[in-house]
Structure 1
Amino acid sequence: MKTLTVGGGCFWCIEAIFNQINGVEKVVSGYMGGKVPGTPTYREVCSGLTGHAEVIQAIYNPDIISLEELLVIFMTSHDPTTLNRQGADVGTQYRSVIFYDTDGERMIAEKVIKELTPYFDDAIVTEVSAITTFHEAEKYHQNYYENNKEQMYCAAVISPKLSKLRKLHADKLKTEN
């Protein structure tokens, strides 16, 4: 099993997307990339003062899905051309970011970004950074979409992203049993 850590706006959206992907065994919402000591809280991260990004860690089976495939899905599931913003969510905590653990992972991330660049009207601003300490988000953030589908944010923001995922990457999704 391998681990991928990415951020692309609110972690609820990215978590919901990665939970649909075949080969992804577990998704955990959390925070990474900050410059302050200790474990940050959601309120602290939302202030924009800690430097952390809202991220997910996806534990995946590379025999089923590759890092490159996961990164293509990630890059096409959010807007990687808006700096520190996804829709109405604004701040460095919502930045588009790929965290890598090895030079090989960094090179794959850079390759995916380069290959996808022609498909966007604006420049891709996704940050590619070395992995730092992952802080798991509070329990109520975990599996948020599945537990709160009726909530307005989920219906208005996450559901359309899942529809786009099904349209663009149907062949990479888990099948219902």
Structure 2
Amino acid sequence: MSTTTNTTDIRADAGSPYIDIVREFDAPRERVFRAHCDPELFAQWIGPDRLETVIEHMEARTGGSYRFVQRDPSGGEYAFRGSFHEVVEPSRVVMTFEFEGAPGHVEMDTSTFTDLPGGRCRLEIHSTYESVEDRDAMLAAGMEGGVTEGYAKLDALLADGAL
């Protein structure tokens, strides 16, 4: 198993309702795309290390929807839901994302998966929030740590051939 040196670049410019994430993976885009759309794989890597993820449903297709719950060891639960507005395999996913603990604060995520030389992939995510305050609340909730830890888990799945 190889160790990755890929970093997660998260950019949130002051005064704008956007977050941009760029991450490269040492795997072909088809595998990285699949890890984002296959419920069994998605549950293995999404979010912070301390949380267990249970996918209630996930239909990663244009017009589909999803809902998953993350549980921490102390019994806390955090549920998320959304709709897939566009799924173009293996290059693009446009979807909403809503934390049920803050209903009505929905973000729109556009994820682009790009082939890189050497069988690698670049993932670029542009998240649009309804307001700067919503975006700032997401950052304050620890989103950066969850994304970074999640992608480290995805690196391990990709490296050990689990997908």
Task: Tell me if both proteins adopt one fold, taking TM over 0.5 as the criterion.
Answer: no
Name the structure with the higher helix share: 1
Name the structure with the higher strand share: 2
Instruction: Considering Cα pairs closer than 8 Å and 6+ residues apart, tell me whether 1 or 2 has the greater RCO.
Output: 1
Give the TM-score normalised by structure 1: 0.29
Give the TM-score normalised by structure 2: 0.31
